[in-house]
Chain A
Amino acid sequence: MIQDALLKLLEEDARLSDQQLAERLGKMPGEIAEARAQLEKEGRIVGYQTIVNDDTEGVAAFIEVRCTPERGGGFNRLAERIARFSEVKSCYLMSGGYDLLVMLEAKDLMAVARFVSDKLSSMEGVLSTSTHFRLKTYKLNGLLFEETESPDRISVAP
């Protein structure tokens, strides 16, 4: 119960201190620290990051990867190998026309091209890749990038 409420608040603002979280949830800071530690231990909280608007720096690519599943392990071993590259920011197993969706960040187009040709395509089990480049980000992790300000409410109303 406290864990769900805690996750909801942290998903909105990971910088809230245990003290603030405790006040908002009507708990003691100790209880918050304990619940947070438990969530971290269970792997439900994977990390705390800052959401950066980096549209103007570097390039981001979404690469659709088709691959051959392995007997016994399916796509897992190959996916984990791909995911370990530091350029890879996200990696998902997908249903549909391809198997893995790999999201990549690099400093320029050539860096993406090198990654795809040297590392990804040559990997055993990878059948084909299809690379798409990001043009503009509108929304990331639930946050709109160009949120227009909501109109001011009148300050006193009946």
Chain B
Amino acid sequence: MDWNHLLSRQVTQLPRSGIREFFDLVTGSRDIISLGVGEPDFVTPWNVREAAIFSLEKGHTTYTSNYGLEALRRAIADYVQDFFHIGYDPACEILPTVGVSQAIDLALRCLLNPGDEVLYHEPAYVSYAPTVELAFGTATPVETSIDDLFALSPEKLEAAITPQTKVLMLNFPTNPTGSIAPPETLRRIAEICIEHDLFVLTDEIYSELRYDGQEHLSIAAIPGMKERTLLLHGFSKAFAMTGLRLGYACGPRELIDMMVKIHSYTMICPTITSQEAGIEALKNGKDAMLEMRDSYHLRRDYIVKRFNEMGMDCHLPGGAFYTFPSVKRFGLSSRDFSLALLKEQKVAAVPGTAFGACGEGYLRCCYATSFALLEQACDKMARFCDALLKK
């Protein structure tokens, strides 16, 4: 077969995820403590699992409407109203999807013409830029740094805007840095979007997992932004439902309508089992969710303190379940540090560069791992750092 001829250039030219190489290495090693995961260490709360089982018992194994179950959309509307203080019409402004990833893909394909530019803040979740490129757009990162605690600087954003810029992608709390944009920064970003007529895709999958005691503010809730924002959220992180693959998009009906068009041709709907589990999570999952959040909170405080004690400068991330400590003082690149840490101490942490070039000098360490394992990982990392500093 002439695969060069057969395969789409669009796909073959797409770079592999920077996390892939690391995944292969870790998968081949034994007795690793991994801080490289990107999902909760909790099992989905039992009442939600039970709702999924009951759904199967009742024989609910059919397609649903392309818009998903009406009861789910109503539950999402109520939840979003309560949590984000934004009202969406469940009849036409909400679309349940197979995770936020699918919603991003749909939205970008609906919004972009070839050559249209999408800005996103880096370090970023690994799939944003490839999804833009698969939709024939141009993905342009706007670097963030420790100086603004990895929240997007409005000045840098404004400087990156060109006549081709159409969409801005936001993700607060951020994977991989755990950063949160302060309200005044978000308001300034909103002004810039209105001034330059940008549409915003805001991935708020970690929004419940905040530890600063502040109420979460979505850019979609800022006056003038709802009509130019698609709010993306889901069940994976806060309700520990990653494998159930359920997310949703809330936004202007004109965009949702086009997204449903693609969705009806390519996906039809998320599994009905997950949709019915999702209704249970939204209606009766809050206590379990808050308990998980409080547990992450304790672990965040612990790991950040340990990292700083061992010489890895680490800011206190406001949300998600990631820390982004600096390894700059050890004189190794992120990749070399990660590889040596894996080889010598059998602890896996993802090099910051997997999330963009400006992640150089940092690691992403996920603390959604049992306290006992976190303690072991920190002890091993402390020995490793100590040995490096003595060299």
A157 within 8 A of B: yes
Interface pair A156/B348, CB less than 8 Å apart: yes
B80 within 8 A of A: no
Interface pair B298/A157, CB less than 8 Å apart: no
User: Interface 1/0s, chain B 166-200, versus A by CB < 8 A?
Assistant: 00000000010000000000000000000000000
The interface stretch among B15-23, B85-93, B205-213 is B15-23
- Chain B residues 8 to 34 lying within 8 A of chain A, measured CB to CB, are 17, 19, 22-23, 26-27, 32, 34
Count of B residues near A, CB < 8 Å?
A: 26
A25 to B, closest residue via Cβ? B298
Interface pair B298/A156, CB less than 8 Å apart: no
- CA of A23 to CA of B75 in the docked complex: distance in angstroms? 40
Interface pair B302/A24, CB less than 8 Å apart: yes
A155 within 8 A of B: yes
B285 within 8 A of A: no
Interface pair A26/B34, CB less than 8 Å apart: no
- CA of A150 to CA of B42 in the docked complex: distance in angstroms? 9
Shortest C-beta distance, B29 to chain A (Å), equals 9
- Chain A residues 125 to 143 lying within 8 A of chain B, measured CB to CB, are none
B18 to A, closest residue via Cβ? A158
Interface pair B371/A158, CB less than 8 Å apart: no
Interface pair A155/B39, CB less than 8 Å apart: no
A81 within 8 A of B: no
Interface pair A155/B371, CB less than 8 Å apart: no
Interface pair A156/B350, CB less than 8 Å apart: yes
Among B19, B32, B305, the residue within 8 A (CB) of A158 is: B19
Shortest C-beta distance, A127 to chain B (Å), equals 40
Interface pair A157/B38, CB less than 8 Å apart: yes
Interface pair A156/B26, CB less than 8 Å apart: yes
- CA of A150 to CA of B22 in the docked complex: distance in angstroms? 24
Shortest C-beta distance, A143 to chain B (Å), equals 14
User: Which chain A residues border B38 with CB–CB below 8 Å?
Assistant: 157-158
User: Which chain B residues border A5 with CB–CB below 8 Å?
Assistant: 298
B19 to A, closest residue via Cβ? A158
Among B39, B41, B305, B375, the residue within 8 A (CB) of A157 is: B39
A5 to B, closest residue via Cβ? B298
Shortest C-beta distance, B339 to chain A (Å), equals 13
Shortest C-beta distance, A156 to chain B (Å), equals 4
A110 within 8 A of B: no
- CA of A156 to CA of B366 in the docked complex: distance in angstroms? 10
A153 within 8 A of B: yes
Most buried by A among B17, B26, B298, B348: B298
User: Which chain A residues border B126 with CB–CB below 8 Å?
Assistant: 158
User: Which chain A residues border B39 with CB–CB below 8 Å?
Assistant: 153, 157
User: Which chain B residues border A150 with CB–CB below 8 Å?
Assistant: 43
Interface pair B298/A24, CB less than 8 Å apart: yes
User: Which chain B residues border A24 with CB–CB below 8 Å?
Assistant: 298, 302, 371
A46 within 8 A of B: no
**Are A157 and B36 CB-contacts (below 8 A) given A23-B302, A24-B371?**
yes
- CA of A150 to CA of B370 in the docked complex: distance in angstroms? 13
A154 within 8 A of B: yes
Known: A26-B301, A154-B23, A158-B38. 12 other contacts (CB 8 A): A5-B298, A23-B375, A24-B302, A24-B371, A153-B39, A154-B27, A156-B19, A156-B26, A156-B348, A157-B38, A158-B17, A158-B127
List 28 A-B pairs, Cβ < 8 Å.
Answer: A20-B375, A23-B302, A24-B302, A24-B371, A25-B298, A26-B301, A26-B305, A150-B43, A153-B41, A154-B23, A155-B23, A155-B27, A155-B32, A155-B36, A155-B348, A156-B19, A156-B22, A156-B26, A156-B27, A156-B37, A156-B348, A156-B350, A157-B36, A157-B37, A157-B38, A157-B39, A158-B19, A158-B175
